């Protein structure tokens, strides 16, 4: 697996900067559910292990993947297939640098509108095409990390899904485990503004 954009030392900075609002509320919630200890140091360690610890996706490969890189940065499988890249900020930055080419949204019946904050899109990246990917749009990475952290820590299933109603949206949140780390995490838009998607 190849990573497109690894920055080793920034991992620690990300964990610590993400401890503000969204992660702080997630930590309080998880303490209440007895899924995390109250010591902030332990919670940071928990976040680091589930999001940034390197593991191998392929049995024959080395430890070259992490949940954070898969979800927020994107990676390729042996340069032949796009994996992950479920973050709109990375999507925007890569498109701005002309590394990513947005091919359009994927919808069953309706065009997305300005109120939609989860989209299914198709794009090419590093010469490869991803037929469909879903991502939040317009939310902070800290918010995404907090939501997916809660889902991951409150379940022991290999794949955890939860239907969530947010304002006028119905979403399915999906988290796949890779052992004790996050393998992937993404939202799926089920309905928006009373429209079935």
Report the catalytic residues: 70, 86, 130
Q: Counting beta carbons within 10 angstroms of the beta carbon of residue 37, is it exposed (0 to 12), middle (13 to 18) or buried (19 or more)?
A: middle
Q: Edge to edge, what strands does the sheet with 128-136 contain?
A: 100-105, 118-125, 128-136
172 contact partners, CB below 8 Å, separation of at least 6: 161, 162, 163, 164, 187, 188, 190
Which residues lie below 8 Å from residue 56, measured CB to CB, with a gap of 6+? 1, 62, 63, 64, 65
Rounded distance, CA 197 to CA 111, Å?
10
Q: What is the DSSP letter of 28?
A: H
Cβ 129 vs Cβ 103: under 8 Å: yes
Q: Residue 13 has which token pair?
A: 């900075």
Residue with tokens 């010591």: 39
């Amino acid at each position: 697996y190849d990573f497109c954009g690894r920055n080793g030392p920034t991992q620690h900075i990300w964990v610590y900067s993400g401890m503000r609002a969204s992660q702080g509320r997630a930590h309080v919630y998880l303490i209440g559910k007895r899924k995390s200890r109250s010591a902030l140091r332990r919670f940071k360690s928990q976040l680091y292990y589930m999001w940034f610890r390197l593991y191998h996706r392929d049995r024959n490969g080395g430890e070259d993947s992490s949940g954070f890189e898969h979800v927020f940065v994107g990676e390729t499988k042996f340069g032949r297939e796009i994996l992950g890249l479920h973050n709109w900020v990375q999507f925007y930055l890569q498109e701005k640098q002309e590394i990513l080419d947005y091919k359009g949204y994927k919808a069953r019946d309706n065009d997305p509108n300005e109120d939609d904050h989860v989209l299914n899109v198709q794009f090419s990246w590093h010469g490869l095409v991803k037929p469909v990917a879903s991502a939040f749009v317009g939310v902070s990475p800290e918010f995404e990390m907090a939501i997916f952290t809660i889902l991951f820590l409150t379940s022991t299933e290999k794949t955890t899904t939860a239907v969530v109603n947010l304002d006028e949206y119905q979403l399915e949140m999906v988290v796949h485990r890779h052992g004790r780390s996050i393998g992937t995490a993404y939202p799926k838009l089920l309905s928006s503004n009373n429209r079935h998607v």
